[in-house]
Amino acid sequence: MNLSTITISTIFTATICLVVSIILLKNNSRSALKPLAYLTLYFFFVRFISLGNIYINESIFYNLLNIKFLNFYKEFVVGSAIVFPALCLMFFVNNKNRNFLFLYSFFSGTILVLMFSNNFLLTKVSYSLYASFAFILSIYYLLKNKKMYKDFHAYKFLMSLNLISLLVTLTGTIYYISNNLMFNEERYIINNFFYHTDYKVFAQLGINVLLAFFSLYIMFTPRLIYGAYYFNPLSDKFFNNRNHWSNVPFKKIDKKDVKLFETIKTKIPIIVSELIHIEGKYISNNVMFYNKEEVSQLINHKLIETEFIFKYHNNLTFNKFMIKINMLKAHNLILNGFLKSNSVTDLAKVFGYKSRAAFFTKFKEITGSSPTNVQ
């Protein structure tokens, strides 16, 4: 495997990470997933700085910054290794666990002091404790909030990221400990293997593949990259291509509602996600509701919170919202063969329309086609 392969893959990975982080910073309004932007930006810097090993002119770099690039790179690697576990944990910081995370910060601070001791083995073990604990905490909070992160399409991504990171951390620690405790002959065999194996090249390529995969996964998952609600392919043509949910308010919050907003602002993405979930169930004929009170009961939130979300995070009045999802439900019924044994008039009656013509007109206005032309 030649150097150009590593260079090309590193440039590609760094570029993808930078593009994704810029898009996330611009579009991501979902507070629970804001750290995604910082994480991908972190990935970019890690890969970009690694290119310096190949292209940086040592003498120019030293003249500019009065430090050898190799020393700078070593410090950067140490710093980035400390930052990464904390970034993974940032996804789960909220009002409920702040006290616990304060204790973790105290614990990790103690560990970091040990990390910079003169004992190489102690440094490695200390870092392993610090990083492993962060990844295990992240996995715990991820499992605890599994439904929310699944609704955000972020569960598999975050779980994979933390499990792989934990595995790599523990594997590296086991290697360093065992290598330190081995007899000279055994240590010689392992070190000889790594000396004759281009493992650093494979490690660089492996990192590039993983980071590129994670970034591309984010890029091609709309609810991650845009932080907004994308209903489904069918709904793109409804209501002039506008989705009716958003994590960002559609209008300025009234003074009388500011206090409530401050109380629930961290929950807004969760409530919106749950409303989307219930809406989907309604359209697929799995639940029924007729008013906001029933919606509140279904998502297990206070009525005042549900009303706030409908007022500021849905660009339709509740009446228009019900009309739209009823037409989507009708569309779904047709796709499932309702008209094979029933008439359009029967379908209109299901949704409370006494006039076939009125239902026909409204259905076509929202879906773009007549009930009889649905494919």
Tell me the CA distances in angstroms from 223 to 82, 162, 214, 228, one per residue in order: 29, 20, 15, 6
pLDDT at 230 over 70: no
The predicted pLDDT at position 102 comes to 65
What's the rounded mean pLDDT across residues 302-306?
Answer: 94
Closest CA to 208 of 51, 38, 89, 20: 51
Tell which of 195, 225, 255 closes a domain.
225
Question: Which tops the pLDDT comparison, 42 or 74?
Answer: 42
- Considering the domain architecture, whether residues 54 and 186 belong to the same structural domain is answered as yes
Q: Among 34-38, 119-123, 366-370, which is the least confidently predicted range? A: 119-123
- Considering the domain architecture, whether residues 191 and 141 belong to the same structural domain is answered as yes
pLDDT band at 233 (very low <50, low <70, confident <90, very high): very low
Please give the DSSP secondary-structure letter assigned to residue 132.
Answer: H
365: phi > 0 → left, psi -120 to 50 → alpha, else beta; which? alpha
pLDDT at 309 over 90: yes
What's the rounded mean pLDDT across residues 9-13?
Answer: 88
Instruction: Tell me how many domains the chain contains.
Output: 2
One-letter amino acid at 188 equals: Y
The predicted pLDDT at position 109 comes to 65
The predicted pLDDT at position 73 comes to 78
Tell which of 165, 198, 225 closes a domain.
225
Tell me the CA distances in angstroms from 278 to 41, 181, 230, one per residue in order: 34, 57, 15
The predicted pLDDT at position 98 comes to 64
Query: ∠ CA 174-156-36 to the nearest 5 degrees?
Result: 90
Domain ranges, residue 94: 3-225
Question: Which tops the pLDDT comparison, 228 or 139?
Answer: 139
For the chain, the C-alpha Rg in angstroms (whole number) is: 27
pLDDT in tens, 50-67: 887 667 767 776 777 777
The predicted pLDDT at position 110 comes to 66
CATH assignment of the domain containing 350: 1.10.10.60
Give 328's contacts (C-beta < 8 A, 6+ positions apart).
Answer: 234, 235, 238, 283, 366, 367
Question: Which range, 119-123, 142-146, 238-242, has the best average confidence (pLDDT)?
Answer: 142-146
- Number of H helices and number of E strands within the chain? 20, 0
Give 291's contacts (C-beta < 8 A, 6+ positions apart).
Answer: 318
Look up residue 250 and give its two tokens: 């559609």
255: phi > 0 → left, psi -120 to 50 → alpha, else beta; which? alpha
User: Can you tell me which residue has the tokens 């228009």?
Assistant: 320
The predicted pLDDT at position 199 comes to 56
Q: Cα–Cα distance between 278 and 284 in angstroms, integer?
A: 10
pLDDT at 48 over 80: yes
The predicted pLDDT at position 57 comes to 66
- Considering the domain architecture, whether residues 283 and 265 belong to the same structural domain is answered as yes
Please give the DSSP secondary-structure letter assigned to residue 241.
Answer: T
Cβ(237)–Cβ(368) below 8 Å: yes
pLDDT in tens, 243-281: 788 888 888 899 999 999 989 988 888 898 889 889 988
- Considering the domain architecture, whether residues 241 and 334 belong to the same structural domain is answered as yes
- Considering the domain architecture, whether residues 164 and 272 belong to the same structural domain is answered as no
Closest CA to 127 of 85, 178, 90, 69: 85
Q: Among 71-80, 114-123, 185-194, which is the least confidently predicted range? A: 185-194
Other Cβ atoms less than 10 A from the Cβ of 224: the count is: 20
- Considering the domain architecture, whether residues 252 and 205 belong to the same structural domain is answered as no
Tell which of 225, 244, 278 closes a domain.
225
| Sign of the dihedral through C-alpha 296, 301, 307, 310 | negative
- Considering the domain architecture, whether residues 211 and 334 belong to the same structural domain is answered as no
Query: ∠ CA 363-314-293 to the nearest 5 degrees?
Result: 90
- Considering the domain architecture, whether residues 65 and 160 belong to the same structural domain is answered as yes
Q: Among 3-17, 60-74, 127-141, 331-345, which is the least confidently predicted range? A: 60-74
pLDDT in tens, 119-140: 666 677 777 888 888 888 889 8
Average pLDDT, the chain: 79
Helix, strand or coil for residue 314?
A: strand
Question: Which range, 45-54, 184-193, 259-268, 302-311, has the best average confidence (pLDDT)?
Answer: 302-311
Tell me the CA distances in angstroms from 291 to 203, 301, 305, one per residue in order: 57, 14, 14
**What is the percent of the chain where pLDDT is above 70?**
75
- Considering the domain architecture, whether residues 115 and 208 belong to the same structural domain is answered as yes
- Considering the domain architecture, whether residues 244 and 368 belong to the same structural domain is answered as yes
**Which residues are paired to 314 by β-bridges?**
245
- Considering the domain architecture, whether residues 207 and 262 belong to the same structural domain is answered as no
What's the rounded mean pLDDT across residues 285-311?
Answer: 92
58: phi > 0 → left, psi -120 to 50 → alpha, else beta; which? alpha
**Which residues are paired to 245 by β-bridges?**
314
- Considering the domain architecture, whether residues 217 and 244 belong to the same structural domain is answered as no
